[in-house]
Structure formats: C-alpha cells, structure tokens
Amino acid sequence: MDDWVKQVEALDIAEEKAGKFPVFDTRIPSLGEAKVDSPICRTVFFTRDGRRVEKSFVSDQDRVLVYDSLAYLQQLKPEEEPLSFEMAGPREKIYFDPSKVHCAIVTCGGLCPGINDVIRAIVLELHHLYKVRHIFGVRYGFQGFIPKYGHDLLELTPEVVADIHTFGGTILSSSRGAQDIGEIVDALDRLNIQILFLIGGDGTLRAASLICQEIARRSLRISVIVIPKTIDNDIPLVSRSFGFDTAVEMATDAIRAAHTEALGAPYGIGLVKLMGRYSGFVAATASLALREVNFVLIPEADFDLEGEHGLLVCLEKRLRRRGHAVIVVAEGAGQKFFKEEELPRDPSGNIKPGDIGLFLVDRIKEYFQARDLEINLKYIDPSYIIRSMPANYNDRIYCGFLGQNAVHAGMAGKTAMLVSRWHGHYVHVPIKAAVGKTKAISLDSALWRSVLESTGQPSLKNP
C-alpha cells in the first residue's frame, strides 16, 4: 500500500482526546517525496542599513502552535511535543512537474464575497510563479464532474481572470446537493487532474474528505486542497473565513438603516436578520461595529419571548423608556419556536432554519396590539445582497494569501487539507480535523461580553 494512502487512513482513525485542549492529528498527508526543484527563485534584498535579506522557503518543520496559551504549555509533560500545525508557504522542493501538471478549481455551496478573488489568486500563482499552463474551472460545483449534466470545463488563464475580483459571486457558478463520489473521482482520473482546489464550506469539507478516501482507495496521485468558504465564519480551526469582513461591513449598513427607521417614528422598531445558521459571529460583530443595537439574538444564546425576562417584555420596557429599539437576529436563533419535522431541507439534505425574522415580526406585532400600543416596525433582511457583493479590500488581500498558499501546498504534493490562518500565520489543517464540526461563540468570551456591555441587554431567559 502506498505511504500516502496509509497517511489518509491514519487520519481517519485518529482519536480526539477530551479536555480543555483537545488533541487531534495535525499531520498532513503527502503524495510522495518532493524531488522537483521549485521554479520560485531565492531572492536577495538589502535593507536601508545595508543588511542582506534572503527570501527563504518554508519547511515542514516550521510549525505554529495550535494552542498559544501558557496554561496549555504548563500542562504538557516534559517528553510531550506541543500540538502544532504545519506552516503554509512555498517549499524548496515540489512534487509535481509544473510543465505537466493539470489543475482544476471548483466552487461549491452558497455565494460569498471573495470567491472570485480566490480563483484569481490561484490562477495567477499557478501561471506566473509555477509556469503551470493547464488550469481548468469546473462549472456549477460538483455537477461539473458528472457527465449527465453536460457542463463544459472553462480554461482559466490570466486574461480570463484579469478583472473577476471586481464582481461578486463566482465566474464558475455553483450548486448544492450531493453527487456521486465515485463519478467525481472518475472524472478527475479521466481528465488527468492532479491538483483539485475546492472552495466551499462544511458540506464541501465533507465531500472533500470522501473524495480523498476514494482517491486513496484507488491509489491515485491526486492532491485535494480546500480553501474554506463560509460567510458565517463557523468553520473550526479557521480564525476568520474570507468574506466575513465584507459581510460585517455590509451588515452595518442594514443596521444603520434600521436605526434611522426606528428613530423616524413613535415607538419605532428596526429588526434586522443576518446570516448565521449555527453561529452568530456576523450578528455579534456587526452589532459591535455600529453600537446602535439594543438586542442581539444568536443561535448560541437561548432566549424566551414571553415572561418577565422574555424578549417581548424587555422590548416594551425599552420602547417606553427610550421610544425606539433596534434588534439584530441571526437566522439560526430561536429555532426552538419551530417544529423540526415541519421545516424544509436544502438540496444537500440539511434542515433549513425556520424564518426567525418573520416569526418575530408577527409575534412583536401581536404582543403590542394586545396592549393597545401602536408601534412602527421595519424589517430588513439584507442576506442575499450581502452574499452577492464583491469583497472589500481587507477580504481581497486575505483571499490572495489563501489562494497563493493553496497553490504552494498543492504543488508540494500536500493533500487532504485546508488552508487556514491561525495565530497570525497561514497553516495547513487536515480536513479530518475540521469536518463535521462547527465553530460557535462562547457565551463567556470577550466577544459576547462586549456585545452585552454595548447593548445592555439582559439574558432574556426566564429562570
């Protein structure tokens, strides 16, 4: 059995130890020994004071701690190595011959600001630095691999991607829904693809894990590199996902509008629903960015509607005291008010959350009508506007780094991994370490404490 196949299987059975600092396998599988000299040249620079600085390569021994806490380091035994990630970056020796390698890029799932920026960064890095001339875009997500859909590949060159970063969405288009893993790997083999770059979220991570297993089962030499995409910022072991910064910036515009509407009428209420199916990072961060929000509802924090400490009573107190209020709710908040069996599923089989925004609109109106208090409620849902926007400058820079480091990893023969930023460094994270898990806001974190201090909201939960 090939060594790299054993590496993939080892990751599959690695145990995660419980505790404050979970231990998991951070090894990155490699297709084989890297023997090809990198076409990236060593470059010498000189500082203003005449010091010589040489642009160096990164080795697999360059590591970044998973936990940078002193408490974690103190609990280690003397013989124990601290848990660390492999640092991303160009390697001096690479696995693939750039003149012969064929690469493919595919985008999956929902839209997100910055997808085109990642595509552009990958293409430019492959073409200009590694001199790769066979780069293809797979149209409409995983459907593009399946013959029955009839989607043609798109040849990607610097000319094709020259200005795509100025547009939202993805030039490759996307799709949802599971496809046959065997057929996907058949297509990779048939098209002679050696490096597959996947841009997608949790569903894509699950599919990538299965694709890697099938590739390993067939002993094929195909590298799979994931660039994690989720506007909700809820993928674990990724400090910030691309598009999140743009989403927060656009969300603040919606909050500003809601605040203006609330001030513009007696007992005005501005209600904004934002992205966040399982995690409330967009809602919490956008609320802090503007600090004009009075109530923030997120999936991680339970709340009641009725009762002395429920949202409705607290909202009434706020209106009678100040005459207006602004509420921000993440789409996944308050799902206990919906019956799971009545909720629809998306094409991938995931349960769609109940529409908490419209639910709150109805309940708030009913509550104040029963009290004969005339309110002026304005509801804003900017989700699809935010998803389709081009990335702002901060995300654009970030996407460039992610794309470049994905190329370095793929050309070096790394596989079954995703590119992440962790403690200020770009690192390689095994897919198995992140798949099937969700990053959430800790209610004891500085982020959530800051939200509570900014809004002044109580727990909204009856004892």
Instruction: Name which of 195, 232, 238 is nearest 215 in CA terms.
Output: 195
- For residue 193, the number of C-alpha atoms closer than 13 Å in the C-beta half-sphere is 26
The pairs formed by 43-46 with CB atoms below 8 angstroms and a separation of 24 or more are none
Residue 204 vs residues 89, 164, 176: alpha-carbon distances, Å: 23, 23, 10
Residue 58 vs residues 51, 75, 399, 421: alpha-carbon distances, Å: 21, 29, 20, 16
Tally of residues, the chain: 463
∠241-247-248 over CA atoms, to 5°?
Answer: 100
CB 16 within 8 A of CB 402: no
Residue 427 parent element (H or E):
strand 425-430
- For residue 178, the number of C-alpha atoms closer than 13 Å in the C-beta half-sphere is 11
Question: Could you give the angle at which helices 356-370 and 311-322 cross, rounded to 10 degrees?
Answer: 60
Q: Which of 12, 49, 97, 232 is catalytic?
A: 232
Question: Could you give the angle at which helices 3-13 and 202-217 cross, rounded to 10 degrees?
Answer: 140
Question: Could you give the angle at which helices 115-124 and 393-411 cross, rounded to 10 degrees?
Answer: 40
Indicate the DSSP class of residue 226: E
Instruction: Name which of 57, 106, 65, 98 is nearest 82 in CA terms.
Output: 65
Between CA 83 and CA 3 the distance in angstroms is: 23
- For residue 22, the number of C-alpha atoms closer than 13 Å in the C-beta half-sphere is 11
Between CA 418 and CA 432 the distance in angstroms is: 10
* CA terminus-to-terminus distance, the chain: 59
SS3 of 82-134: CCEEEECCCCCEECCCCCCCCEEEEECCCCCCCHHHHHHHHHHHHHHHCCCCC
Within 10 angstroms of residue 463's Cβ, the number of other Cβ atoms is 6
Instruction: Tell me whether residue 232 is one of the annotated catalytic residues.
Output: yes
Instruction: Name which of 191, 110, 114 is nearest 155 in CA terms.
Output: 191
Catalytic sites, residue numbers: 232
